[in-house]
Structure 1
Amino acid sequence: MPELYDIYLRKSRADRDAEANGGGDTLLRHRTALLELARRMDLTIFHIFEEVVSGESIANRPEMQKLLAEVEGGSIAGVLVMEVERLARGNTRDQGIVAETFQYSGTKIITPLKTYDPADESDQEYFEFGLFMSRREYKTINRRLQRGRMASLQEGKYIAAAAPYGYERVKIKGAKGYTLAIVEDRAQVVRHIYDLYINGLRQPDGSLRHIGSSVIAKQLDREGIPSPSGGRWAPYTVRDILSNPTYAGFVRWSWRPTVRKVVDGVLVETRPVNKAMALTDGLHPAIIPREQWQRAQDIMASRAYLPMPGNRTMVNPLAGLVYCEQCGRSLVRTKGRRGNAKDMLMCPNKDCTCKGSTMDEVESTLIHSLERWLREYKLKVKPVKAHRKKSNTAPLERALEAARRERDTLISQKGRLYDLLEQGVYTIDVFTQRQFELATRISAAEQAIQEAQQQLDAERQLDELRLSIIPRVERLLDVYQQLETPQEKNEMLKTCLERVEYRKTIGGRYTQSDMALKLYPKIIPVSSHP
């Protein structure tokens, strides 16, 4: 779609006085000047709005309301007007509305003397006074709302829009605001989660094993308890329930989670500015006793995950390359734990039935598969290249030239529209409609030129691109076994492969199986019929 522009015409009081004294039709004169400006700047006019009624405020200017609707909707790139004052001649409130509408939509204001870009700070100064008044009013209202929220919070009311799992939001009887009421069947699940986290999961021998949020999520799924969304439980959902002070009878507002990251090997906690506000006693009943809730927080803090430093050594040469064909997850390495047990590559999805294999087995199979792929690729790419040498790019070049001629013809036709409008052959409605149609066809022609040029360039480079993979894979196969570290192997594999899909449905870890790998080399696919 081409960029579209509107024209806005409006008489001032001085214009009306001048017309009364024989000064001529102001709107006609301004329309002619702005159409000429559009012609010089090669702009496509979408609508021409002519304000024919008198009125200083936006409420009394229907054409201005239509213009602002288009500006706010983002359908136009700019508005042509004789002077910016003609957009906002009314009170300071109207000036603020107009200025903010143009600023937030990124719509330009184009006059014969200057183009005002709302993204340019210096251009915004023209509306500074009107924006100041509008902004002051907004801040006053916002401060009033924030004071109301904080007052409600201090009174223990629940001011968030949605209730946490285990509660429902209810209106306070005889007063303004909301609080929470317990939904007993879900509250029992919350209590169960805290019990599992604090006391542990009972084992067949009667002992209790301490577990985390991931195991709790699996346990809830095994017990057939639906999650808040109705599906399976996720570990982060369990963690949110364990860390939410609402269950202990508190209320909070403007809370953000702590961000943890490692800097020079040290765990650093970053708290957003608006996080650390004190908890307030809520009007709602607690589901979890506060001592029990605090115990869960202490356990969570003691188990805080400390990421490995950023300079950790890579131990998996296939990291970020091998993906499960069944569920799409990246396979992960698990270290062998007993005796001479080998490292494994496993799908981390607990619901996936894909079987794991030893990392050595997958790595060896990958290299053999790459050797076989290279042999087959060499046999395939040579006849394709020979066939392509017999052809040429003449059809694409002819299509490109035809698209360029079509674009030039349409541009010429668009330029003649202004003459037809001035001669009275076209009305304003017909002019804007024809200009929009031609601009759309010009845009399509430009797109066709771009696509044809890209295809032509691609055809000219296709042979080189298709052959460039061969020396990279040959180099990898020559030196792979001599590479000393998994990091070096991983980097070299990634120069040749986009990804590898892994499939294994039968067989044990160390027995014969149906393991298969599907390679995706970094290459344009070669077809026998280019």
Structure 2
Amino acid sequence: MEREIKKVAVYVRKSREEETEDTLNRQQSVLIDLCEKNQWEYELFKEVGSSQEYDRPQLQEMLENIRAFMYDGIVIADLDRLSRNTVHFGQIKEIIVNSGVITITPSKTYDFSKDDDDFISDVQSVLSKQEYKTIKRRLVRGTRQSAKDGNWLGKKAPIGYKYNRETKRLEPSEDAHVIQRMFQEYIGGKSTKDIAYEFDLEGVTTSVGMIWTPAGVTRMLSNIVYAGHSLYGRTTQKKVNGKRVVEKTREEEQILVENTHEALVSQEDYDEVQRIKKQRNSRPVPLKLGKHKFSGLIRCGICGRIHSFQTSKYKRKRISSCQTRNYNGDKYVVCSNKGANVSEFEKLFYAHFKKYVDQIEEYVHLIEPKETNNEGEIQRKETQVKKLNQDIKRVQQGFLMEIFTEEEAHEQIKGFKSKIEELENDIERLKEQESFNEQDFLKEKLDRMKLFLTNGDDMEEREANMILQEFVETIIYTKTDNEMELNIVMKDLS
């Protein structure tokens, strides 16, 4: 006796690899004609997604409705529209069987609860997986051959090039001179930070409105496209816990095709840039960072921009004049805040900082040590930890008795352990408070401030900067004519 079918789910899917735009429409048309011919009420689910992904939104919505017994059947073009992944196909098939749903294609109807149909579907799933691998190999071969012919296969042309739709190749654009200058300045000794700052300061623009950053300059200097070659498949996307993660592929998985378009820089210059980058990246971190005692702390009192440092021709360290430029009518106006010798700045800073340290010391002498009693709170949290450990044992027993699935047990235990870790951290903090009152806390901070006051000039610049960053929020610096003003904003010590 055949099952009575009243309402079905129609599922159509197009893979990202398929280039034909009307693939979905053809599937949809054939399947809806089938439903109307049999007078089935239908609900359409339609999407673009890889056959290897299980968490496709439309597929998951359809499966949720199947679990709720909303359909008598599923109508699809082929079984591989559901999945070409054998594991995922097995999961989908289990949901279909448990919900008493049959699967209908234009050529055959499957009832996976029957052994013959179940076996046939398993064989077809294995064949679909093999077909998927074959399609991927063909795509790679096709991509490689098209690239060898000189065709540009990227999504958009890199800065410095434009895409010619007739020849399908890259051609130099009006931005080419920007890229060429970037390579030459890097070879000439400038860093990516120097280049980004200089381009920003000069108002160097591109047709796509490039915002100049050290990271952006680094990416362009690393792009082999500027040497006239094309490289494809440098990254791949995978889904981890439902989120797309970009990963760098192995070198043997990438497709490098040489001399596909006109180069903007010579091969020698490109190789020299890569050599310099590698050499600079191998330097110790402190040498690369070039930290100054006041790095990141001095802010312009006129425009609010962070000041940088320079060394004068007399080997004196200086705070640079502010270089912020504002457009005023028909011209750019540079901020009027002047620079100064660091030695001149330090005299004023140390005077202000010492006053602050003296105030903290006076306060420490005035406050009375307060003993904290957290015993009750510690006991309460320890009791919670014991209960959570018992809950973990209860879930483990439930898994053995098949009350919980492995996935359910894992999720519950993971949640309990997270709470236990949080409680144990709270207990540790409360125990520390028992033996560490406000006076002790401030004394420790005070000792570090005094260390900077007495030994700041002898400290390694990076260490001195770390101490200042601990206490100072920012130093608002203003110098007009010969008058220098400082406003030191201290961090909250609590």
Q: TM-score, normalised on structure 2?
A: 0.49
TM-score, normalised via structure 1 length: 0.47
Greater RCO (CA < 8 Å, at least 6 residues apart): 1
